[in-house]
Amino acid sequence: MENILEVKNLCKKYKNFELKNVNFKLPKGMIMGFIGENGAGKTTTIKSILRILTDYTGEIKIFGLDSIKNENKIKEDIGVILDDMFFPEILTINDLNSIMKDIYKNWDSDLYFKYIKDFGLDKKSQIKTLSKGMKKKLEIAVCISHHPKLLILDEPTSNLDPIARNEIISIFQDFIQNEDCSILLSSHITTDLEHIADYITFINNGEILLSKTTNELLDSYGVVKCNEKEFNKIDKKDYLRYKKNKYDYEVLIENKKDFMKKYDIKVIDKITLDDLMLLMVKGVK
């Protein structure tokens, strides 16, 4: 399967934080959910991919091209939403169209104004008059209206109500109907990712803990709830993490079928991405 994005051994050091050999691949036609706690390294990784941060080591390929040597060529085909993105508040929605026409060769004014209408935005409105949710919708309209092949999105549905989130998710799903296009989507709303992401990449404290298909994670992984006597019978190599509660243990396992064959435990809870994050970050090895 051809990859639209490859990150190899990405390292970036700050005084109190560092990315440590970040590796993952995003195939064409797929959505990858990028998850982790605040401060885990998601935004640093994304800004390195976009060359907003440049003092990193490692290799990043986008569309099969080296991102440093082909920076200008690549940017034309990437749509971006960052959590700290902003447009000058004095501009109107109409003004943005005029500006973007000069920035992107493939800017599509008709598509842009279609999104503006669909989102219920007034093209004469100044950006400073828009609510946070309306600004997010405007960012999405700008992001998609130059026909990019790769969307890199940092919290694109934050500040949106469930109805608006569902509307935006449908747009993302329509976007990847073109199998040459892909999305890297960082979000804290993991329930959205469970429904739309083909892959999940989980970063914690600057390190990738796992990068797998969503189906593999949700179908194979599970949580065993057991008492202390049952827990003590489980071999350490048969679980990833555990958490001791007041009355029981929660044990994260990687293969439900193999585990049930080996141990006399009949019920294994299905895992959610929230469960996975909590146990991987707070659980004990």
178 plus 108 within the same structural domain = yes
Among the candidates 213, 245, 274, a domain finishes at 213
120 with 258, same domain: the answer is no
- 8 & 137 share domain: yes
For residue 240, which of 201, 196, 282 has the smallest C-alpha distance? 282
In this structure, the answer to whether residues 197 and 178 fall within a common structural domain is yes
Examine the domain organization and report whether 79 and 144 are in the same domain.
yes
Give the model's pLDDT for residue 23: 97
Q: How many domains does the chain have?
A: 2
Q: How confident is the model at residue 159 (pLDDT cuts 50, 70, 90)?
A: confident
- Expressed as residue numbers, the domain containing 27 is 3-213
User: Which pLDDT does position 266 carry in this prediction?
Assistant: 77
The predicted pLDDT at position 133 comes to: 85
C-alpha distance from residue 52 to each of 31, 68, 70, 80, 92 (Å): 22, 11, 14, 12, 26
Give the pLDDT of residue 183. Answer: 97
Residues 235, 138, single domain; the answer is no
Give the pLDDT band of residue 273 (cuts 50, 70, 90): very high
Token pair in block for residue 208: 């990738």
Q: What pLDDT score does 83 carry?
A: 76
The CATH number linked to 178 is 3.40.50.300
Q: Are residues 154 and 107 in the same domain?
A: yes
pLDDT digits over 72-97, tens only? Answer: 889 999 999 987 667 889 999 999 99
**Measured in Å, how far apart are the chain's first and last C-alpha atoms?**
34
Q: Are residues 141 and 240 in the same domain?
A: no
Kindly report, residue by residue over 32-43, the tens digit of the pLDDT.
999 999 889 999
In this predicted structure, the answer to whether residue 12 has a pLDDT above a threshold of 90 is yes
User: In the prediction, which pLDDT does 121 show?
Assistant: 95
Pair 117, 240 in one domain: no
In the sheet with 241-244, reading across from the earlier edge strand, the strands are: 241-244, 249-253, 222-226, 269-270
This model's pTM is above 0.85: yes
- The arithmetic mean of pLDDT across residues 19-28, rounded, is 96
pLDDT of 180-226, one tens digit each? 999 999 998 898 899 899 999 999 999 999 999 999 999 999 999 99
Question: Do 247 and 169 belong together in one domain?
Answer: no
Task: Please write the tens of the pLDDT for every residue from 95-132.
Answer: 999 999 999 999 999 999 999 999 999 999 999 999 88
Q: What pLDDT digit, counting tens, does each position of 61-70 carry?
A: 999 999 999 9
